[in-house]
Amino acid sequence: MIDGNLRQVSSQKKGFEAMIKGYVSIKEVAEKWGLTPRRVQVLCVNGRIKGAGKIGGVWAIPVDAQRPSDMRVTTGEYRNWRKKPEKSKQIDEKEQS
C-alpha cells in the first residue's frame, strides 16, 4: 500500500525519486554529514549506520541516524611498519651483548 508512505524528495532532482517517510537516501545523508556518497555507501555495507537497509536496490537510512565515528588511524602509528631496522642498529645491539 503506497498511499501516504511515499514523498517526493526534490523536484529539482532528475526524474522522480521517492523514499519512505522517516528515511533518506545516501545522497542526502552525504550532503548532511559532509561525506561522499560512496563513503556513506561503504558505511552502510559494513553495518556502521544503525537502521540502514536496502529497499529494492536503494539504501534507506533513518532520518535520525547518527554519523559513526571515524575508525581510521590518523596518528601515523602504523606508518612504515614494514621497514626493517637499519643495519647500524643491528650491529650496535650485537656489540653490546
pTM above 0.75, yes or no: no
Within a domain: 10: no
Within a domain: 86: no
Within a domain: 92: no
The tens digit of pLDDT for each residue in 26-80 reads 999 999 999 999 999 999 999 999 999 999 899 999 999 999 998 777 777 777 7
* Domain extent for 31: 23-69
Within a domain: 83: no
Q: How far apart are CA 60 and CA 76, in angstroms?
A: 35
How many domains does the chain contain in total?
1
Within a domain: 97: no
Within a domain: 64: yes
For residue 9, give every residue at least 6 positions away whose Cβ sits within 8 Å of its Cβ, in sequence order, or none: 17, 18, 19, 25, 28
Angstrom CA distances, 95 to 14, 37, 48, 86, 87, stand at 73, 57, 51, 15, 12
Instruction: Give the confidence band of 97 by pLDDT, cuts at 50, 70, 90.
Output: low
Within a domain: 76: no
Within a domain: 1: no
